[in-house]
Structure 1
Amino acid sequence: MSVYQKVEALASKFLKKNTIFKYGFNLSPMYKRSTAKIIEVSEDLLHVRIKLPLSYKNKNYVNSIFGGSLFSAVDPIPMIQLLSIMGNDYVVWDKSAEIFFKKPAKENLFADFNFTEKELMGIREQVAENKEIDIIKITQLTNKDKTQVFCEVKKTIYIADKEYFKQKRKKK
C-alpha cells in the first residue's frame, strides 16, 4: 500500500471521496510540481477540472508554459480518477501517453476529465468478458472558455480484473 493510499484510507473516515481526491492531489508534492491545481471534482468523481496557471514556475525560454508542465498537469488524473471510481476489484495502470502541442500557451489553461456511467458500464462489461482491456482517453488543455486548444494528451489505460491480473503475474 502506497503512502497516498494510506492517507486516503485514514482521510476517508472523515471526508468525502471527492474532497480527498481534490486535496490529496493539490497537497501532494508529486502533483504540486506540475504547477496545476484541481479546482473541481464532482461527488461521483465522474468529472474533474484542473487549472494550470501561467507563472514564473512553469514558463519556458519563450515565455509559454513548459511542455513538461502541460503533460504533468494532465498525466496522473485519468488513471487515478478511474481507479477511484472502479474500486479495489480492478487493476488500473497507465500504459502509454502521447502529447500533441497545438500552440504555445501564454495564458492560464484548463482541462476537464470526464467518465460517463455508460462508459463505466462498458468497461466493466468488457473486463468481465475479456479479463483485461485498454481504453484511450484524450484530454485537451484549453483556455477558460474552451474556444482554443493548446495541447492534447492521449492516454492508454490498462484495466484488468484484479484476480485475473494476480494469476497472470504468477505465471511469469
Structure 2
Amino acid sequence: MSLLSFAASKVGVFKRILEKWKLFRFNRMIRKNWPVYYRLGPRFEFVSEDLLKLKVRFPFNHKTKGYNGLHFGGAIYAFVDPLYVYSISENLGPEYLVLDTKAEIDFLKASNQDLIIKTEVSSEDIKSIQEECSAKKKTTRIYFLEVLDPSGQKIAIVKKTIYIRKLNPSFPITSRL
C-alpha cells in the first residue's frame, strides 16, 4: 500500500466519522425539541446540507406497536407529520410562517418492521414559494410521502397540504429550533 493511498483511505474514514457525528448531533437536537420524536425513537439516516432531503427510519418497538401487534397508525402519522414543515421553514427563514393545514393518510399494508421515509423539496420549489409569497403574501403546497418497509414495499401514502405565508415584519417568529 502506497503512502498516497493510505492517506486517501484515512481521509475517507475521517469524512465518514464526521458525517456520523453530524447525524448524531442532528438526531439529538431533533429529539430534544420534538417530544414525539423523543418518545417514538425515529432516527435521521440522511440529512442534506440544505435540509431539503431527509431520510428517516422509524423503528418497530413497544412504543410504536398497536393493539394487533403491528405499527400503530397514529404513531406513523406523528412520525411523518413535521418533516416537510421543518425542511421548508429552515430554508425560508424566520420571515415566513409555515404550517401543516391538512393531511390525509392511506394505509396500504400492515407492517411489523422498521419503516423508512425519504422527503425531498427542490430548491426551485423554495424559490417559487418565495416569489409567490412576494406577490400574494401566501401560498399552499401539496406534497406526497411514501412510507416504505425495508424491502421497499409501500406501507402508506401521505398527502400533506402546507400553508406558507410571508410574515409582517412586526410579527417575527422567534421560537425556532
Check whether TM > 0.5.
Answer: yes
| Alpha-carbon distance in 2 for matches of 1:67, 1:129 | 39
TM-score, length-scaled by structure 1: 0.78
Q: Tell me what 2:29 maps to.
A: 24
Count of matched residue positions in the alignment of Structure 1 and Structure 2: 149
Structure 1 residue aligned with 2:106, among 100, 104, 109? 100
CA contact 2:45–2:56 (8 Å) conserved in 1: yes
Give the aligned CA root-mean-square deviation in angstroms: 2.2
Give the AA of the match of 1:94. D
Q: Tell me what 1:14 maps to.
A: none
CA contact 1:90–1:162 (8 Å) conserved in 2: yes
Is 1:141 paired with 2:140? no
User: Is the partner of 1:60 in helix, strand or coil?
Assistant: coil
User: Is the partner of 1:163 in helix, strand or coil?
Assistant: coil
User: Is the partner of 2:79 in helix, strand or coil?
Assistant: helix
**1:49-105 deviation digits (Å, cap 9, x = unpaired):** 110111122111222110011101110111112101110121111111111111001
| Alpha-carbon distance in 1 for matches of 2:25, 2:136 | 32
CA contact 2:95–2:167 (8 Å) conserved in 1: yes
Is 1:73 paired with 2:73? no
CA contact 1:91–1:165 (8 Å) conserved in 2: no
| Alpha-carbon distance in 2 for matches of 1:113, 1:23 | 20
Unaligned runs of 5+ in 1: 1-16, 167-172
Give the AA of the match of 1:162. L
TM-score, length-scaled by structure 2: 0.76
Q: Tell me what 2:156 maps to.
A: 151
CA contact 2:36–2:79 (8 Å) conserved in 1: no
Q: Tell me what 1:132 maps to.
A: 138
User: Is the partner of 2:49 in helix, strand or coil?
Assistant: coil
Is 1:39 paired with 2:38? no
Structure 1 residue aligned with 2:67, among 57, 61, 70? 61
CA contact 1:98–1:154 (8 Å) conserved in 2: yes
| Alpha-carbon distance in 1 for matches of 2:63, 2:74 | 12
**How far apart are residue 35 of structure 1 and its match?**
3.1
Which deviates more, 34-43 or 44-53? 34-43
Q: 1:65 to 1:48 in 2, by over 3 A?
A: same
CA contact 1:99–1:154 (8 Å) conserved in 2: yes
Fraction of identical pairs, as percent:
29
Q: Tell me what 2:125 maps to.
A: 119
Q: 1:106 to 1:18 in 2, by over 3 A?
A: closer
Give the AA of the match of 1:53. P
Runs of 4+ in 1 over 4 A off after TM superposition: 17-21
Structure 2 residue aligned with 1:160, among 161, 165, 170? 165
